[in-house]
């Protein structure tokens, strides 16, 4: 099954940041209810935008988000100390977002993950920066899986993020992401792939059109999770239709359900 990580609880979003500053719990609870109804399987929680407030904002958000939904959370921070605090507050087995091969982050995250029950997003990032080729991405993914398996993590709990980069920066970035996903899903069979889908359209107009079409292409290459907006019914229609076309929807039941609900229509 495709894993939809709902991206909307993120303090880089103006309305969310205003709600966090005002400690408007109703706004946050309503938003996560809508994400769940839209088809989210995890709710991403990112409180990183207000410098100096991440710990307090994250604590408040985790409490309020879990009042609005029984979905598991995707704990989104580059700071291992924040992730440890967040892990201690969740009611359900979470996804931890993220570990990478950057030395400081890797060295702090490995002992934290050792023996913990969780899903993990592993970024194909190291101290030399963003990956520059498909081989770069696949090498980093392979190292991350090797290391995570050494501490007993199962491939089914590992979500590799190839780091999707904008088309506006390099017109090969879409091909790089697609090829990397295909290679990872083949050579590291059993892991999942995920990533911030909307990174692809950064700097271009009509971003939703780009994101939607890119999701279909990525799914054709084995992409089986995305950090995305489950309130965008058009992108969710692409997702459910592609799942059906890939044979992941027996008797097209879920597709037909989407049509009957009015969420899939021409």
Least distance in Å: CB of 46 to ligand THG? 6
Q: What minimum distance in Å lies between the beta carbon of 10 and ligand THG?
A: 4
Residue closer to ligand THG (CB basis): 14 or 260: 14
Nearer to ligand THG, 12 or 175 (CB): 12
- Least distance between ligand THG and beta carbon 44 (Å): 6
CB of 253 to ligand THG, least distance (A): 30
Beta-carbon neighbour count of residue 179 at 10 Å? 18
Helix (H/G/I), strand (E/B), else coil: 225: strand
6/258 with CB nearer ligand THG: 6
CB of 89 to ligand THG, least distance (A): 19
Query: Cβ-closest residue to ligand THG?
Result: 196
Place of tokens 């969710």: 236
**Residue placing its CB nearer to ligand THG in the complex, 33 or 208:** 208
Name the strands in the sheet holding 158-161, side by side, starting at the edge strand that comes first in the sequence. 192-193, 158-161, 119-123, 95-99, 73-76, 42-46, 3-10, 225-228
Q: Report d(CA 59, CA 61) in Å as an integer.
A: 6
Strand partners, 97: 76, 121
Q: Is 240 helix (H, G, I), strand (E, B) or coil?
A: helix
Q: Which residues bind ligand THG (CB under 6 A)?
A: 7, 10, 12-14, 46, 76, 97-98, 121, 123, 161, 195-196, 198-199, 227
Residue with Cβ nearer ligand THG (62 or 244): 62
In angstroms, rounded to a whole number, what is the distance separating the alpha carbons of residues 27 and 19? 7
């Amino acid at each position: 099954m495709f894993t939809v990580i709902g991206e909307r609880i993120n303090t880089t979003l103006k309305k969310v940041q205003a709600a966090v500053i005002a400690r408007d719990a109703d706004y946050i609870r309503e938003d996560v209810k809508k994400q769940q109804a839209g088809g989210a399987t995890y709710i991403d929680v990112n409180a990183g935008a207000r410098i100096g407030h991440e710990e307090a904002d994250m604590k408040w958000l985790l409490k309020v988000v879990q009042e609005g939904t029984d979905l598991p959370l995707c704990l989104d921070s580059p700071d291992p100390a924040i992730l440890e605090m967040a892990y201690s507050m969740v009611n359900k087995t979470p996804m931890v977002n993220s570990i990478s091969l950057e030395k400081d982050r890797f060295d702090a995250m490995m002992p934290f993950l050792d023996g913990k029950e969780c899903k993990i997003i592993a970024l194909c990032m190291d101290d030399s920066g963003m990956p520059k080729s498909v081989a770069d991405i696949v090498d980093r993914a392979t190292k991350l899986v090797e290391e995570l398996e050494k501490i007993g993590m199962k491939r089914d709990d590992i979500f590799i993020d190839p780091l999707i980069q904008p088309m506006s920066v390099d017109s090969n970035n879409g091909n790089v992401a697609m090829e990397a996903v295909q290679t990872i899903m083949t050579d590291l069979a059993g892991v999942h792939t995920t990533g911030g889908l909307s990174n692809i359209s950064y700097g271009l107009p009509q971003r939703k059109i780009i994101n939607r079409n890119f999701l279909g292409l990525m799914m054709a290459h084995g992409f089986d999770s995305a950090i995305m907006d489950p309130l965008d019914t058009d992108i969710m229609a692409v997702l459910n239709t592609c799942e059906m076309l890939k044979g992941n929807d027996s008797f097209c039941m879920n597709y037909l359900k989407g049509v009957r609900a009015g969420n899939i229509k021409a």
